[in-house]
């Protein structure tokens, strides 16, 4: 099984076009967040400075393929999808890895079907304490250092959030988690953190504002149980457990949104307890934000200055970080989330995932009717480069451009520089 030069992911996830673009950015050495411009005929493709697999995803995939390589005779299971990308998950299934839970959280393999000699891998999102305990009841030593080093693919940045939550919990803070409650990572963070302190999950600034209302006594605490039903730890009392708060996040949320959630809670604490007492009642947790998520989001914002005609975002439909890239691009241009090149039906029609309705839809006349045009292409942190590669080839092919024209463009790559006003 061939691995690339970083010894992290198999070569079949790489894309020749994308690798050339990455190599170009390394060669020029600029730290600029301006995108790379690939000119193919009369199409300018703009590729952000950062996109695709992050360190945590690369690490998880490498560990899964290493387990397959090192233990060909042992049954291997994943607790659930290793990352939110169907190409990778289906690839692992085809190679013999079973998933204990499906994407909807329904159990596919019962506890008694897992033997003590089986390997059970924990996905990049982490997993809950309850699931870990069920693995241990199956005879797996899943808590040992050796097991975690080889089979626990939890992203180190997710683990960092748990460690920080543990630390702040011991100091007496309630942990407010900014995340999507049903997301695997948020479920895991909630489960781990509530072992040490009281926890509460909020989705967005609106829910954070409601928590601020409870902090300042602007609403009756009798409504809290209904409003945040199921999203807080056992015996949570808004009268006492909102006195000291630290905010952490699901690492794939928009960093700016997490900062805004934290600012809302900080302002509520300052209003109630005064500036002199703020540090005691509110903990600064900016150090839990994931750098890779931040980089991808900021690089995607770098696309906006170029004002492309359209943006294509490639990734899993259930990928939180990918949907946030669509949100960023949608601020100034039509933006479409597709799983792979098959979503590009023709130059006239695109089959894409609507992040609001959560449905696959078709849109006609998605590309400009005439050349020249500028198309932004990016991908989420769980998307293999080969999928982005296919999207560029398909769009170029709609206008008669083939490998020769793409190669000419790759030989003349540029960093986009906005026109000074």
Residues with a catalytic annotation lie at 185
Q: Phi and psi for 113 in degrees, rounded to 5?
A: -85, -5
Q: Nearest to residue 197, comparing CAs of 148, 249, 240, 250?
A: 240
Q: Please check whether residue 304 is in contact with residue 331, taking contact to mean a CB–CB distance below 8 angstroms.
A: yes
Distance CA 281, CA 245 (A): 6
Alpha-carbon distance of 48 to 44, in angstroms, equals 13
Cα–Cα distance between 290 and 324 in angstroms, integer? Answer: 14
Q: Name the phi and psi angles at 326, rounded to 5.
A: -60, -40
3-state helix, strand and coil shares in percent for the chain, rounded to the nearest 5: 45, 15, 40
Length of the chain: 421
Which contiguous run of DSSP H or E holds residue 255? helix 255-273
Rounded distance between C-alpha atoms, residue 259 and residue 390, angstroms:
36
Tell whether the torsion through CA atoms of 316, 320, 323 and 325 is positive or negative: negative
Cα–Cα distance measured from residue 89 to residue 97, given in angstroms and rounded to the nearest whole number:
9
Query: Among 265, 266, 247, 267, which Cα is nearest to 255's?
Result: 247
Calculate the alpha carbon distances from 20 to 60, 112, 229, 388, 399 in Å: 24, 49, 50, 13, 22
Rg (CA), the chain: 23
Q: Angle 403-410/16-28 helices, nearest 10 degrees? A: 10
Asked if omega into 148 is within 30° of 0 (cis), the reply is: no
Which residues are CB-contacts of 95 (< 8 A; sequence separation ≥ 6)? 68
Q: Is 359 helix (H, G, I), strand (E, B) or coil?
A: strand
Distance CA 71, CA 75 (A): 8
Which segments within 270-329 are labelled E, that is strand? 282-283, 310-314
Q: Please report, to the nearest 10 degrees, the dihedral formed by the alpha carbons of residues 151, 157, 159, 160 taken in order.
A: 150
DSSP state of 116: T
* DSSP secondary structure string for all residues of 21-33: HHHHHHHH-----
């Amino acid at each position: 099984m061939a691995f690339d030069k970083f010894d992290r992911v198999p070569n079949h996830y790489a894309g020749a076009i994308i690798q050339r673009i990455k190599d170009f950015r390394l060669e020029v050495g600029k730290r600029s967040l301006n995108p790379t411009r690939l000119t193919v005929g009369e199409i300018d493709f703009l590729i952000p400075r950062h996109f695709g697999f992050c360190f945590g995803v690369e690490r998880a995939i490498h560990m899964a393929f290493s387990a397959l390589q090192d233990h060909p005779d042992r049954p291997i299971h994943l607790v659930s999808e290793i990352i939110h990308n169907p190409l990778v998950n289906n690839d692992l299934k085809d190679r013999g890895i079973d998933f204990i839970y499906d994407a909807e959280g329904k159990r596919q393999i019962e506890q008694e079907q897992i033997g003590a000699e089986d390997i059970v891998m924990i996905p990049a999102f982490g997993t809950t304490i309850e699931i870990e305990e069920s693995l241990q009841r199956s005879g797996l030593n899943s808590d040992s250092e050796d097991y975690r080093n080889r089979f626990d693919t939890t992203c180190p940045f997710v683990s960092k959030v748990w460690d920080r939550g543990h630390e702040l919990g011991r100091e007496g803070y309630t942990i407010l988690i900014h995340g999507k409650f049903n997301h695997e990572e948020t479920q895991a963070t909630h489960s781990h953190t509530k072992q040490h302190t009281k926890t509460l999950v909020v989705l967005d600034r609106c829910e954070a504002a409601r928590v601020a209302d409870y902090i300042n006594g602007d609403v009756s605490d009798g409504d809290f149980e209904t409003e945040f039903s199921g999203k807080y730890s056992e015996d949570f009392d808004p009268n006492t457990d909102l006195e000291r708060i630290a905010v952490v996040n699901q690492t794939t949320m928009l960093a700016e949104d997490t900062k805004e959630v934290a600012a809302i809670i900080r302002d509520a604490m300052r209003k109630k307890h005064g500036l002199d007492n703020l540090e005691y009642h509110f903990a600064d947790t900016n150090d839990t934000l994931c750098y890779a998520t931040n980089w991808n989001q900021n690089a995607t914002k770098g696309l906006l200055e170029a004002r492309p005609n359209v943006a294509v975002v490639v990734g899993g439909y259930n990928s939180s970080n990918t949907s946030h890239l669509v949100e960023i691009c949608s601020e100034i241009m039509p933006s479409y989330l597709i799983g792979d090149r098959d979503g590009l039906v023709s130059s006239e029609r695109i089959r894409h995932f609507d992040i609001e309705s959560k449905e696959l839809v078709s849109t006609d006349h998605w590309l400009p009717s005439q050349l020249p045009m500028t198309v932004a292409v990016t991908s989420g942190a769980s998307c293999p480069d080969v999928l982005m590669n296919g999207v560029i080839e398909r769009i170029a092919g709609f206008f008669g451009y083939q490998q020769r024209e793409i190669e000419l463009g790759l030989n003349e790559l540029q960093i986009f520089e906005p026109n000074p006003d």
